[in-house]
């Protein structure tokens, strides 16, 4: 199980990477490992406004379909179009090429409420 020390996490297994007021969002290595082979990712339209904790997309593996929850409130400004042709990127590079969306945060302070990687690691070990 790998953890990226440079991102923050929420307990529904999404991560957010801060780039100014823009945040890149994806699912964690633990999440992709639990889901198994990802075959499809349903992403929102650019421009969609999302609220923290709200489902903004669906990741479908061979086993199951799972909602993906926004770690921050804001507007979707970009989606990872590569996932359309290569959804397995979510399995191969969960913290890199397998990112889902970029959110222009409406309340960047929400980032501070997320878990650090050590907190998230401890949480996962307790599961």
Partner 1 sequence: MPIQYPAGPIEEHRLVRRSAGLFDTCHMGRIRMHGPGSFHLLDRLLTARLKDLPVGFSRYSLILREDGGVLDDLFVYRLGEEEWFIVVNASNVEKDLAWFQNWASKEGSIQVEDLSSRLGMIALQGPRVMELLGHVAQVENPSLIENVSRPNIGGVRAEAFGTEDLSPSQTRLAGQGEKSAQGSWTPPERFGWSWVWIGKDGSGGERNTVTPGLEGGDKGRQRREDMRESTGTGRPAREGPREGAPATPGVRCLLGRTGYTGEDGVEIFPPWEDTPTVWNILLESAKEAGIEAGPAGLAARDSLRFEPGFALYGHELSEDVTPVEASLLWACDLEKPFVGRDAVQKRKAEGPKEKLVTFVMEEQAVPRAGYPVADETGRTVGRVVTGLYAPTLDTFAGNAFVVSDLAGIGKTIYIVVRGALKKARVVKRPLYKPAYRS
Rounded Cα distance between 47 and 99, Å, is 17
DSSP 80: -
Judged by the rule CB under 8 A, the positions of this chain that interact with partner 1 are 36-37, 39-40, 42, 58, 60, 62-63, 65, 84, 88, 91
CB of 89 to partner 1, least distance (A): 14
CB of 33 to partner 1, least distance (A): 10
Q: Alpha helices of 1-127 — where are they, by DSSP H?
A: 29-35, 82-85, 89-92, 110-113, 117-125
Quick one: 51 or 92, whose CB is closer to partner 1?
92
CB of 27 to partner 1, least distance (A): 16
Quick one: 91 or 106, whose CB is closer to partner 1?
91
Which two three-digit tokens encode residue 85?
């042709």
CB of 43 to partner 1, least distance (A): 11
Quick one: 73 or 91, whose CB is closer to partner 1?
91
Cα 18-21-24 angle, rounded to 5 deg: 40
DSSP 44: P
Rounded Cα distance between 56 and 74, Å, is 11
β-pairing, 49-50 with 55-61?
A: unpaired
Quick one: 7 or 68, whose CB is closer to partner 1?
68
């Amino acid at each position: 199980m790998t953890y990226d020390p440079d991102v923050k996490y929420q307990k529904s297994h999404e991560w957010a990477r801060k780039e100014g007021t823009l945040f890149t969002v994806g699912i964690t290595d633990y999440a992709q490992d639990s889901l198994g082979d990802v075959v499809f990712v349903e992403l929102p339209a650019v421009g969609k406004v999302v609220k923290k904790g709200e489902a903004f997309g669906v990741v479908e593996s061979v086993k199951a379909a799972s909602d993906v929850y926004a770690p921050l409130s804001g507007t979707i400004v970009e989606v990872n179009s590569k996932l359309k042709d290569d959804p397995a990127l979510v399995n191969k590079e969960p913290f890199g090429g397998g990112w889902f969306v970029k959110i222009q945060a409406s309340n960047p302070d929400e980032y501070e409420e997320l878990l650090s990687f050590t907190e998230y690691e401890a949480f996962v070990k307790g599961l």
